Chain A
Amino acid sequence: KAGVTQTPRYLIKTRGQQVTLSCSPISGHRSVSWYQQTPGQGLQFLFEYFSETQRNKGNFPGRFSGRQFSNSRSEMNVSTLELGDSALYLCASSLVQPMNTEAFFGQGTRLTVV
Chain B
Amino acid sequence: KQEVTQIPAALSVPEGENLVLNCSFTDSAIYNLQWFRQDPGKGLTSLLLIQSSQREQTSGRLNASLDKSSGRSTLYIAASQPGDSATYLCAVGNTGKLIFGQGTTLQVKP
Contacts and interface: CB of A to CB of B under 8 A. Distances in A.
Nearest to A47: B97
A108 B31 CA distance: 25
Most A-side CB within 10 Å, residue of B31, B44, B91, B103 = B44
Given A42-B103, A43-B89, A98-B93, A103 B43 contact: no
Given A42-B102, A42-B103, A105-B36, A98 B97 contact: yes
Contacts of A108: 42-43
Interface residues of A, number: 26
Nearest to B4: A42
B98 A33 contact: yes
Contacts of B51: 100
Contact of A99 (B45, B98, B100): B98
A90 B43 CA distance: 7
B24 to A, nearest CB: 15
B46 A104 contact: yes
A44 to B, nearest CB: 8
Contacts of A48: 96-97
Contact of A100 (B32, B36, B41, B91): B32
A42 B100 contact: yes
B99 interface: yes
A13 interface: no
Given A43-B100, A105-B44, 13 more contacts: A33-B97, A42-B101, A43-B89, A43-B98, A88-B41, A90-B44, A98-B97, A99-B94, A103-B34, A103-B91, A103-B98, A105-B46, A110-B41
